Amino acid sequence: MEYRGLNRMIKQKRFYNIQTGYGLAEIAVNAVYGNLDGFVLFECYVDHKSINFIKKIGKSDKRTLLHVFLEALEEEMWETLLGSWVYSDPEVFPDIKATVQRVYAKLPNWFIENEIDQHPVEMQQIISTLVGKTASAAFEILFNDLEFLYEFQLRIKEVIEREDTPHSSDFYDDSGYIKRQNYNPRWLERAVFFRDQGRCQDCYKDVTGEVYLSNVYHLDHILPLADGGSNDPTNFQLLCENCNLKKGRRRKRPTNRKLVFSEKE
């Protein structure tokens, strides 16, 4: 019975192949840290004038700004490559096949070197699916990197402060900062708690209640709202009550501290 119940639970969850996201994640890190020459982050990949952008910085959405950025970055990469690639090129085909196989367990019968160029429409459909799958995998990798998320929030802050970014009164306070949302969605609390292993990301105290009797914890804005931060899910971390009160409205760069797997008992 336990195994059948577990199987039902697994079937209800969405899974991804994490290997598909490493390449895109690396490009995104270089972009956010400014290691790509001539690369402009949100001006190119996020429509900062749209109501969708304003809603995302004002209210937590499961499809985060990082999802938007990764998908747009991936789409542009494929568009650039499609303009110069001949799928059947012996130097190109193995890379294309390896990329597609990470997402598709079984390839179409025509997916062979001497036939692939005869199916441009089908290839476009496959690539459009790859973009979503690859971006999702890259998101899962980068969502676990608090130092990257901090830098990502700084780039968001730069866009929020642009003169041509709308400042809707629905999401901004009288001081010009994003309002604190009325409540944090349950899915957001669970996602941050799970990612941060039930530990304060400053003092690393366990807040699950299993080690210490007190399990009071806060969802903290990595980049404080009073410093130009947003309510996007990528701007939250787990802090114990003492560390959160001590931090207050100040900016503090997080660190990527995780338990070594052999010490997880």
pLDDT at 6: 41
pLDDT at 264: 57
**pLDDT tens digit string along 37-59?**
545 555 566 677 777 888 888 99
Q: Tell me the one-letter amino acid at 6.
A: L
**pLDDT tens digit string along 125-157?**
887 777 778 889 999 999 999 999 999 999 899
Residues of the chain with pLDDT under 70: 1-16, 35-46, 80-85, 105, 211-214, 261-265
Query: What's the total number of domains in the chain?
Result: 1
pLDDT at 234: 97
Q: Tell me the one-letter amino acid at 55.
A: K
60 contacts 232 by C-beta, under 8 angstroms:
yes
pLDDT at 104: 72
pLDDT at 213: 57
pTM: 0.81
239 contacts 247 by C-beta, under 8 angstroms:
yes
For residue 69, give its domain range. 2-263
pLDDT at 30: 87
pLDDT at 265: 54
pLDDT at 44: 62
Helix runs in the chain, H state only: 2-12, 22-32, 41-45, 51-58, 65-82, 93-101, 120-143, 146-160, 186-195, 241-247
pLDDT at 1: 34
